[in-house]
Amino acid sequence: MLYFIATPIGNLSDISLRALETLKSVDLIACEDTRHSLKLLSHFEIKKPLIVYHKFNEKKQAETLIQELKNGKNIAVISDAGTPVISDPGNVLTKMLCEEGIEYTVIPGATAFVSALILSGLDASRFTFIGFLPEKTKDRENLLKQYKNNSETLIFYSAPHDVNNDLKTLYSVLGDREVALVKEITKMHETTYRFTLSNAKIEEPKGEFVIVVEGAKETANEFNSLTEKEHIDLYLSRGLSKKEAIKKVAEERGVSKNSLYKYTIED
C-alpha cells in the first residue's frame, strides 16, 4: 500500500497518531528534502530508508515507487509541510497509480489554505483554491481573468519574494477587494494581515504566505455577457463621459480603472 501522509505545517504537535503509526510501519518514505524530513522523523524517533521525490524528478521516481509497490513494499509519501499533491509533488504519481490500477490512500492532516481561509474572516461557504500564480505576467493575468467574475473567495499561495508582485497583479486584474494575507500558520508568530488590494503591501516579507481574496460582487455578474469594451460603450451610448464610463465599469466588474483605459483610445 502507498500512503500520502500530511505532515505539520509548522507546529510538530499537529501530526496525527495515525500518521505516526503509518510512518513507523512502512518500508520506505519518499520525501521532498531528506534534510527537512529528517528533522520531523528524528523528533519522533522514526528511522526508515528515504528516497528523494520532488518536482524535478517526479516522473522517474514515481516509476521507482510503483516498482517498489509491486515488489511488496509499503510506502509513505510526504512533502516538506502539509498535504502531498496539494501544490506539492504527487499528482504525477496519483495519475500513474490509477493507470496501473494500484490502490492508495491518504492520511489526512494539516493543509495551509484551509487554516488561512478560516483566519481570513472572509466568506468560507464557497471558495476556489488556485495555488501559486504562474511566473510569466501574461500567464498570470490570463489565469486570473478566468476567475475575476466568480463570487466565491479565491485562495493563493505566495513565496516571500513574490508576495508584493502577486498582490499588484491581483489588483490589476481583479480590482479593489478585501484581502487577507496569512503567514507562519500554527507557529509562534502566526500573523494575519488584512487590507484592500489597492493598498496591500508587506514590508520585508518573510515566510510563506497564503493570500485570501474576496470574491466578485454579485452585481458584477450581470455584465458577464458583455466584453469590457462593450460594457464601456454601453455607458458611452447613454451619455456618460469616458471617465465616468470607465469608473462605473471598473466598479461593476471589480477591476482597476487603469486596465480599462485602453478601450477608450481611438485607432
Continuous H helices in 146-241: 163-174, 228-237
Cell numbers 521516481 correspond to 61
First-last CA distance in the chain: 64
Give the per-residue pLDDT at 224: 64
| Closest C-alpha among 100, 110, 156, 152 to residue 7 | 110
Residue 154 exposed, middle or buried by CB count within 10 Å (0-12, 13-18, 19+):
buried
Cell numbers 476556489 correspond to 128
- Distance in angstroms (rounded) separating the CA atoms of residues 90 and 31: 10
Q: Is the separation of the CB atoms in 4 and 18 below 8 Å? A: no
Q: Which three cell numbers stand for residue 254?
A: 471589480
Q: Is the separation of the CB atoms in 48 and 139 below 8 Å? A: no
- Distance in angstroms (rounded) separating the CA atoms of residues 117 and 229: 34
pLDDT by residue, tens only, the chain of 267 residues: 999 999 999 999 999 999 999 999 999 999 999 999 999 999 999 999 999 999 899 999 999 999 999 999 999 999 999 999 998 899 999 999 999 999 999 999 999 999 999 999 999 999 999 999 999 999 999 999 999 889 999 999 999 999 999 999 999 999 899 999 999 999 999 999 999 999 999 999 998 999 999 998 865 456 666 788 888 888 888 888 888 888 888 877 777 888 888 877 754
Give the per-residue pLDDT at 219: 53
Give the per-residue pLDDT at 105: 98
Give the per-residue pLDDT at 253: 76
